[in-house]
Structure 1
């Protein structure tokens, strides 16, 4: 990711811009330059009052020196190009990214003292500043700094500012480059154990129907012969029809589907910050997405508003028709900027889910009243297996134990076929993942205070 920049010596061709440039140059006088100018003026006044010619010459020297430095600095035509590289450009929350800056002197003159300053949002750390003593004609300098954020989001870096100063430190001019880059901080991802929540070892189903298995000899759709194809798969009837070698298509295994449902309602998941219930749910959804993609599933991210990522395609899922890394990056970019919604219910998500067979359904839910719990219970009818991680935002904000309402909602979901797990404050997702597998295989909730570390208390 490289950002170019225009030369730092942009001129002022018109008279108005020339006057504006002069005012800007005089405004760039440093404290030392202003002190010299004031001292020269005071000496000139004293020389006039006292009639001292030598003192007048000293005053003129003090006053003229900063003005001459400002004019020379303004007339000096440095042509400097800047670039920025992020490594990497997408990082999980709490990890560092390195920013490398490069300054190229494309003019025929060597530069004087240069001071670099990059604009950085305060959440990424202090604003970096660098001093370059001298850059020869055609030379380059490289400096780097690190940024880190505990809060996910998209943060602009830049534009890069270049300060020019004279050797005496009398005047400073600032030039800003126009380009900037964006650092994407995605949610933290937890490595999950390879359990079989859906009853399948991988994302490729074994008991699915194949269209070719139900087709007769005349219904087979052949394709052109490719180098390396087995000659025993040549379809001679189609070869005679098209005049070129045609082979039978191989049966393509269909990937199992997985929908990750994230509840973003502001009333259901209260609080903000890295340790809030909402951030835990976002991080849990990100971990589940990455885990299921790695296991070969076609995955879709769905929110309570009914919005899905990667979007509306032939089936709305990603991972089968495109690279898993691209699909994961797209969904991670969405989770990096996702925020609380204004929705009051989960009905929009249910309307999307009931349109077809969704396969495995993983839900990260907040507080559920009786009506919303009934909506979630109906979602189970359109999925092959369903696992819900339910957070009690009151317990997260107040540090209390599970409320009786939460236990009632979990029981209601389990009776409708869900594998429902309560999420205590600061719970480990990996432990809850194992608890969900234990609950599915034993057809009942894990005992309180058992072997799992994600239980309450």
Structure 2
């Protein structure tokens, strides 16, 4: 046997013997003692009893050790993304691929404490080629990404002589996204119908010379073949279809640590994150191309792809990317919004919706300048504390919004809405429409 094989064998023996229970150790000790007494007294029958007592725990240890490597597991999450406060179900499956049945099995899955206590299950013997399935529920009020696993499996023989623990390497990730509230359809700015009335076309149709051909793709209609370009380029070319120009929406999320106070599910920052998720989802459903922009200048989707996401079949992918980003977004250490202004400077990016923290006069002027060429601008200012409730903790920063900040935004053309603590996003959304139109009653447009 090679040196590596001998070391593996010794390691396996040590692991098997280390798994002996109190009962197994007692049987082994009794067998050794009976063997010694039989040798001293010359009793062959006692020697047979001693050998039986000593061999039973050893055989059980070997069987459990071999079975440990013949048991496989898998995990399935439904759903893999769950809103904060919602529940997800985790399904565990254990398969016995050995030729021998297993003994008693005890399962324990590792989960973060915020998802609840560690689930434990006890399974009876599994026949050769058999399987067992169990499930448990997890719930979190805090958004984030939480690892589930690895699964720990404790095997025991039918006689209770040996117990061994196996830890599987595989683990899965549960994503807890912000709560998304359904929003009523309101007209909040130019191009608010997404792909509806008044949409612009991206191509001129003045004549044959204005056609911009592209290479033929599998499935293209042969009636769209552009023969003049085909002859020119030496490959099959087709006319580009006239493409609608989708309305765009940018959601600006202020994540500065100094702009918020308090923490937890009821804090102003969490309300802003949930509000941003609700607006992004609502705009995607209405046919907008959307992007998420933070005070640090980070854009989602990023520069490596299209800056705005949500075109056609990419809508579901864009929504998933945005929700995954908002699930783990946290406070930034900066104290200015100038990086976001640099991204928006000199461009007409359609509707701009901003969820802002506390603003001083300087930051209010920066936000006011973001409005210049957008089709509409909404600013939501969540209130940190309600009247008579928790006062500001000086250790948590945030001096509150300056008295003239809101006026500066309104003078620059922003629609500004103050959101009380815990206010439903749907009602705040309708209030923004009422303030924009200057009427007392909102409603669908």
TM range (shorter): 0.7 to 0.9
Deviation at 1:145, TM superposition (A): 1.5
- Secondary structure at 1:258's aligned position in 2? strand
Whole-Å Cα distance in 1 between the matches of residues 242 and 155 of structure 2? 67
Say whether 1:357 aligns with 2:353.
Answer: no
State the secondary structure of the residue aligned to 2:7. helix
How far residue 30 of structure 1 moved from its aligned partner, in angstroms, is: 3.3
Distance 1:205 1:408, change over 3 A: farther
Instruction: Please tell me whether the aligned partners of residues 70 and 171 of structure 1 are also in contact (alpha carbons under 8 angstroms).
Output: yes
- Relative distance call for 1:218 and 1:72 in structure 2 (3 A) is closer
Inter-CA distance 397–63: structure 2 relative to 1 (3 Å threshold):
farther
Instruction: Select the residue among 410, 426, 433 that pairs with 1:437.
Output: 433
Q: Quote how far apart the aligned CAs of 1:144 are.
A: 1.5
Shift, 1:250, TM fit = 4.4
Structure 1 residues 228 and 105, CA gap change in structure 2 (3 angstroms): closer
Question: In 2, Cα distance between the equivalents of 1:29 and 1:324?
Answer: 57
Relative to the length of structure 2, the TM-score reads 0.83
* Residue matched to 1:124: 115
Q: Which runs of 5+ in 1 are unaligned?
A: 1-11, 453-457
Residue 212 of structure 2 corresponds to which residue in structure 1? 221
* Partner Cα distance (1:60, 1:229) in 2: 84
Q: Quote the Cα distance in structure 2 between the aligned partners of 1:302 and 1:210.
A: 26
Q: How far 1:105 sits from its partner (Å)? A: 1.6
Distance 1:38 1:388, change over 3 A: farther
2:100 counterpart SS class: coil
Equivalent position to 1:343, from 334, 337, 362: 334
- Give the aligned partner of residue 158 of structure 1: 149
Match 1:26 to one of 11, 17, 22: 17
Which residue of the partner structure matches residue 90 of structure 1? 81
Tell me: CA distance 1:134–1:226, structure 2 relative to 1, closer, same or farther (3 Å): closer
| Number of positions where the alignment pairs a residue of Structure 1 with one of Structure 2 | 431
Change in Cα spacing, 1:236 to 1:104, as seen in structure 2 (3 Å) is closer
Shift of 1:269: 1.9
Which residue does 1:3 correspond to in 2? none
Q: Say yes or no: does 1:251 pair with 2:247.
A: no
Cα contact 2:204–2:210 (8 A) shared by 1: no
* Greater CA drift, 419-428 or 72-81: 72-81
Superposed CA RMSD: 4.0
CA distance in 1, matches of 2:232, 2:62: 84
Q: Is the 8 A contact 2:379 2:416 kept in 1?
A: yes
SS at match of 2:326: helix
Return the alpha-carbon distance in structure 2 between the equivalents of residues 410 and 39 of structure 1: 85
Say yes or no: does 1:301 pair with 2:297.
no
User: What is the rounded CA distance, in whole Å, between the counterparts of 1:205 and 1:110 in structure 2?
Assistant: 64
Q: TM-score scaled to structure 1, two decimals?
A: 0.81
Q: 1:182–1:236: structure 2 CA closer, same or farther, 3 Å change rule?
A: closer
* Alpha-carbon distance change, 414 to 214 in structure 1, aligned in 2, over 3 angstroms: farther
Aligned match for 1:267, one of 254, 258, 264: 258
Aligned to 2:269: 278
Tell me the equivalent position of 1:6: none
Instruction: Determine the structure 2 residue equivalent to 1:178.
Output: 169
Secondary structure at 2:99 match in 1: coil
Which residue of 2 is the match for residue 331 of structure 1?
322
Counterparts of 2:184 and 2:62, CA distance in 1: 68
**Aligned partners of 1:225 and 1:245 also within 8 Å:** no
Question: Are 2:382 and 2:418, in contact at CA under 8 Å, matched by a contact in 1?
Answer: yes
